[in-house]
Amino acid sequence: MTKNSDIDIAAWNIPNDLFYKAAAFATGYSNKWNVDLVDFDDCKESLKKAILAEGIILFKV
C-alpha cells in the first residue's frame, strides 16, 4: 500500500439498511486508512474486475 492508498471492502447481498450501517462503521473505522464499503453489484466495472482479480476473501457465508 502507498501513502495515498485506501481499503475497499466489497460486499454482496446485504440488505440496504444493514449496508448503510456497515458503510458508516467502515468509513469511521481507521484514522490511518480510508476504508470504504462498496456494493459489488453497484460499483464500476473497473472496480469489479480489480476486486475479482486482486481481492482477498475475508468472510464467506
CB of 8 closer than 8 Å to CB of 47: yes
pLDDT at 1: 61
Q: How far is CA 22 from CA 18, 45, 46, 53, 60, in A?
A: 6, 22, 23, 24, 16
Q: Which long-range contacts (CB under 8 A, 24 or more apart) does 25-33 make?
A: 33/1, 33/5, 33/6, 33/7
Alpha helices in the chain (DSSP H): 16-27, 45-54
Per the model's pLDDT, the better-predicted residue between 60 and 38 turns out to be 38
Instruction: Name residue 36's beta-bridge partners.
Output: 8
Per the model's pLDDT, the better-predicted residue between 44 and 1 turns out to be 44
Query: pLDDT tens for residues 2-56?
Result: 667 788 899 999 899 999 898 888 888 888 888 889 999 999 999 999 999 999 9
